[in-house]
DNA sequence: ATTAAATACGTAATTAGTTACACAATATTA
DNA sequence: TAATATTGTGTAACTAATTACGTATTTAAT
């Protein structure tokens, strides 16, 4: 199928399906070949019962990895052909206890040769191939168990999007975004305070002129995240990280992380060694991010903000 | 799934199906993730049209390896969503010429990022696996193209059955089978002749006492094939291969071949170097078998049988 | 002893494909 | 040129699975 070579690996699902179809198609013919009146789809159920034990519908379903309605249907078909015997559970009246009938046991004997031949035929193919399909499937099952394809794709998406995020210095054109993004989260969790208005309404006068800096995260030229470092005049720290805000619609693009890194880089380039911040513990993702950036909880500093209930700091020289 | 480890490779069909299901399940989620209103099953069709060309239903079907009704259905669904435009063929009124609409082209641009992410996610899995699923599938496709699973299983069956065929020396208890098996084929193609009755009614007197031998093929202790070598008193040959008969119900078990080999072995062990036989060209499988055994067509020898129209011989020393 | 929750199962509806069939348009052949 | 074969398509019926849901029974909790 030339198509698959042009499409690439993302068509692996379709390709797998076609191989599967091809094999199951032949399987039906193979049963005919051995003159055993059994449908290929019965096989896993039949096999699960072949040791002679009594099993329940859901028991079989779990064992072979089908849904229980599928097993239920197959059992009723096999029952009609007289291959299995159903019996209502003795101790538990909900259960449908199923086992091979005498005819079923007979079938099981007859079918052994077929098993051997099919097994050998598949071994023959395996021997001719240099890549082991069986092992490859096993590995894929394992890897998908550990992390689903969906999660892997999500991670790729995040990575790609974070690559196309640009962190730039503040310009007057970003004034609106700087205020809006901050106002959005502050007013949804707390309420805007005096100090907020001062900084957000006049960032140039309040932050930049006092030796602070503002960074803006652009995604496709749209400002979706902001963050500031404020020069601290006197005390144990050089800068305060503040006014970090990321648009909810940009979640999962790593923007917070990128802004945080850029802010610390900026502080470092300005000769800072200790950076301070204030936050609130109900903002769990934010606290988490600060941890990842290297901030540690400290205590005993006064804050102009009501909402502040945690203080953190990082020593850039120890990073 | 522990089940598959106990069942062995013959469950490869079921196992493939489960992996396929798992991947296509995630595929649906992935489309949602990118907020593209497209069903995964549309993908191959969409992709086939993505270069902008106009294509026919069957054209697409052949390209992507689906049946045409499947494509027909998908196209009508995509049409409803405004992704493609259908147009009755201009030159050929049967054709339904399909191409992406403007909206479809737009989708195609939007979906490129998704393609990249999925491709990368799959590459990531591949990189973590030591067995290459993609290549393994490719190899299986190729090997099944060359010889289907069905044919391979048939060959295994034949081999296994021929292994359980035993060739033994004649005993009086096989007299009936010796006559019946020969009478069956002779009278269905020709008619029984004087010489036939003599040999079949009294094999001991007519064949064994004159230095000949009879071999019997047993399958599950049932005589399903016979064959004789007759001592030739004077002339260019030592033995004549004759009265070879295999039950029709034992076809495909290699019995003819095994009997032929055993007969020549017997002749060789008796010091013979040249073996002769007579047959009729309408018995194509038989002639074929004789060829495989090393017999070559010769001419100019008289035969007591009306039905004989070909003579063959083999020189055991040249084998 | 009730009540609520969980379990086992079957039925119905859905899904993504298939094959079978019918019909029209075109191509081939006598 | 008429008859026949082939091709392109759509519709219908089938297949082998699924999810959704209802019912009966058992187990756990109050």
Mind listing the pLDDT tens digit for each residue in A259-314?
999 999 999 999 998 999 999 999 999 999 999 999 999 988 877 788 888 999 99
Q: Is the pLDDT of residue B203 over 60?
A: yes
β partners of residue A241: A229, A277
- Mean pLDDT on B203-231: 93
Q: Is B295:B314 a contact under the CB 8 Å cutoff? A: yes
Helix, strand or coil, per DSSP, at residue A202? coil
Query: Does the beta-carbon distance from B33 to A150 stay under 8 Å?
Result: yes
Q: Is the pLDDT of residue A234 over 60?
A: yes
What pLDDT score does A15 carry?
85
Domain check: are A87 and A134 in the same one? yes
Report the percentage of chain B scoring pLDDT > 70.
Answer: 99
Largest Cα separation within chain B, whole Å, is 93
Query: Does the beta-carbon distance from A143 to B128 stay under 8 Å?
Result: yes
Q: What is the pLDDT of residues A48-105, one digit of tens each?
A: 999 989 999 999 999 998 999 999 999 999 999 999 999 987 888 889 999 999 999 9
Helix, strand or coil, per DSSP, at residue B301? coil
Residue B151 forms part of a structural domain: no
Q: Is the pLDDT of residue A318 over 90?
A: no
- How many angstroms separate the CA atoms of A230 and A138, rounded? 55
Q: What is the pLDDT of residues B131-164, one digit of tens each?
A: 999 999 989 988 988 898 999 999 999 888 888 8
What pLDDT score does A238 carry?
93
Domain check: are B119 and B23 in the same one? yes
Average model confidence (pLDDT) across chain A: 90
Question: Is the CB of residue A94 inside 7 Å of nucleic acid strand C?
Answer: yes
- How many angstroms separate the CA atoms of B136 and A131, rounded? 5
What Rg, from alpha-carbon coordinates, does chain A have?
33
What pLDDT score does A1 carry?
55
Residue A236 forms part of a structural domain: yes
Q: Is the pLDDT of residue B1 over 60?
A: no
- Mean pLDDT on B289-316: 88
**Residue among A64, A139, A155 minimizing CB distance to B131:** A139
Q: What's the Cα-to-Cα distance from B135 to each of A243, A286, B139, B174, rounded to whole Å?
A: 52, 45, 6, 55
Question: Is the CB of residue B73 inside 7 Å of nucleic acid strand C?
Answer: yes
Residue B82 forms part of a structural domain: yes
Using alpha carbons, select from B307, B79, B317, B44 the residue that is nearest to residue A13: B44
Task: Kindly list the residues from chain A whose CB atom is less than 8 angstroms away from the CB atom of residue B109.
Answer: none
Helices (H), B164-304: 175-189, 194-201, 203, 255-269, 284-293
Residue B154 forms part of a structural domain: no
Decide which of B306 and B55 is more confident: B55
- Mean pLDDT on B66-91: 92
- Mean pLDDT on A115-134: 91
- Mean pLDDT on B185-202: 90
Last residue of a domain, one of B146, B175, B192: B146
Domain check: are A292 and A198 in the same one? yes
Helix, strand or coil, per DSSP, at residue A92? coil
Domain check: are B169 and B311 in the same one? yes
Q: Distance from A137 to chain B by nearest Cα, in Å?
A: 7
- How many angstroms separate the CA atoms of A72 and A60, rounded? 10
- Nucleotide nearest B56, CA–C1', reads D8
The set of residues, in sequence order, having a beta carbon less than 8 Å from that of A316 and lying 6+ positions away, is: A264, A267, A268, A272, A273, A274, A275
Q: Is the pLDDT of residue B221 over 80?
A: yes
**Residue among A23, A131, A141 minimizing CB distance to B12:** A23
- Mean pLDDT on A225-250: 90
Taking one residue from A and the other from B, the number of pairs with CB-CB distance under 8 angstroms is 221
Last residue of a domain, one of B93, B114, B146: B146
What pLDDT score does B241 carry?
94
What pLDDT score does B27 carry?
86
Using alpha carbons, select from A147, A150, A141, A17 the residue that is nearest to residue B43: A17
Residue B152 forms part of a structural domain: no
- How many angstroms separate the CA atoms of B166 and B168, rounded? 6
Domain check: are A80 and A196 in the same one? no
Residue B153 forms part of a structural domain: no
Q: B287: domain range?
A: 165-315
Q: Is A189 exposed, middle or buried (0-12, 13-18, 19+ CB in 10 A)?
A: exposed
Q: Is A228:A243 a contact under the CB 8 Å cutoff? A: yes
Report the percentage of chain B scoring pLDDT > 90.
Answer: 60
Q: Is the pLDDT of residue A319 over 70?
A: no
Domain check: are B308 and B169 in the same one? yes
Domain check: are B171 and B140 in the same one? no
DSSP readout, B71-131? Answer: HHHHHHHHHHTTSEEEEE-SS-TT-EEEEE-HHHHHHHHHHHHHHHHHHHHHHHHHHH-SS
Q: What is the pLDDT of residues A131-167, one digit of tens each?
A: 999 999 989 988 988 898 999 999 999 888 888 889 9
- CATH number assigned to the domain comprising residue B34: 1.10.10.10
Q: Is the pLDDT of residue B101 over 70?
A: yes
Using alpha carbons, select from B310, B212, B230, B218 the residue that is nearest to residue B255: B218
Domain check: are A87 and A210 in the same one? no
Using alpha carbons, select from A248, A97, A227 the residue that is nearest to residue A184: A248
Q: Is the pLDDT of residue B6 over 90?
A: no
- How many angstroms separate the CA atoms of A48 and B7, rounded? 9
Residue of chain A minimizing CA distance to B47: A7
- Chain A interface includes B131 (CB < 8 A): yes
Domain check: are B178 and B300 in the same one? yes
- Mean pLDDT on B292-317: 87
Place of tokens 């911040």: A277
Report the percentage of chain A scoring pLDDT > 90.
Answer: 60
Average model confidence (pLDDT) across chain B: 90
Q: Is A234:A240 a contact under the CB 8 Å cutoff? A: no
Selected residue of B67, B74, B114, B137 to mutate for chain A interface (largest A Cβ count, 10 A): B137
Domain check: are B142 and B195 in the same one? no
- How many angstroms separate the CA atoms of B43 and B60, rounded? 12
What pLDDT score does A295 carry?
94
**Residue among B14, B16, B119 minimizing CB distance to A8:** B119
Domain check: are A88 and A54 in the same one? yes
Q: Which nucleotides of C are covered by protein (CB under 7 A)?
A: 7-13, 15-20, 24-27
Q: Is the pLDDT of residue B126 over 80?
A: yes
Residue A158 forms part of a structural domain: no
For chain B, the domain total comes to 2
- How many angstroms separate the CA atoms of A105 and A85, rounded? 11
What pLDDT score does B319 carry?
67
Residue A160 forms part of a structural domain: no
Domain check: are A104 and A171 in the same one? no
Decide which of A205 and A13 is more confident: A205
| CA dihedral over A164, A167, A168, A174, signed as positive or negative | positive
What pLDDT score does A233 carry?
77
Q: Distance from B189 to chain A by nearest Cα, in Å?
A: 28
What pLDDT score does A275 carry?
94
Last residue of a domain, one of A146, A174, A202: A146
- CATH number assigned to the domain comprising residue B283: 3.40.630.30
């Amino acid at each position: 199928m030339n198509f698959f070579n042009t499409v690439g690996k993302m068509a692996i699902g379709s390709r797998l399906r076609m191989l599967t179809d091809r094999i199951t198609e032949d399987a039906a013919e193979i049963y005919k070949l051995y003159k055993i009146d059994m449908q290929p789809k019965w096989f896993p159920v039949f096999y699960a019962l072949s040791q002679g034990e009594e099993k329940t519908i859901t028991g079989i379903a779990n064992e072979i990895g089908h849904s229980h309605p599928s097993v239920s249907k197959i059992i009723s078909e096999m029952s009609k052909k007289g291959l299995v015997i159903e019996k209502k559970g003795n101790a538990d009246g909900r259960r449908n206890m199923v086992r091979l009938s005498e005819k079923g046991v007979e079938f099981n004997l007859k079918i052994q040769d077929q098993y051997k031949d099919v097994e050998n035929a598949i071994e023959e193919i395996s021997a001719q191939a240099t890549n082991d399909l069986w092992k490859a499937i096993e590995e894929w099952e394992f890897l998908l168990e550990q992390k689903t394809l969906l999660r892997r794709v999500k991670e790729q998406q995040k990575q790609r999007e974070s690559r196309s995020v640009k962190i730039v210095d503040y310009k007057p054109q970003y004034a609106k975004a700087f205020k809006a993004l901050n106002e959005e989260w502050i007013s949804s969790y707390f309420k805007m305070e005096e100090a907020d208005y001062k900084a957000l309404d006049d960032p140039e006068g309040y932050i930049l002129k006092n030796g602070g800096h503002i960074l803006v995260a652009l995604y496709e030229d749209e400002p979706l995240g902001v963050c500031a470092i404020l020069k601290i005049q006197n005390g144990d720290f050089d800068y305060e990280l503040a006014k970090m805000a990321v648009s909810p619609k940009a979640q999962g693009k790593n923007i917070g992380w990128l802004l945080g890194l850029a802010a610390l880089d900026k502080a470092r380039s300005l000769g800072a060694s200790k950076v301070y911040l204030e936050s609130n513990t109900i903002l769990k993702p934010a606290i988490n991010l600060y941890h990842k950036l290297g901030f540690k909880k400290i205590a005993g500093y006064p804050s102009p903000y009501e909402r502040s209930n945690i203080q953190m700091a990082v020593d850039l020289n120890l990073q």
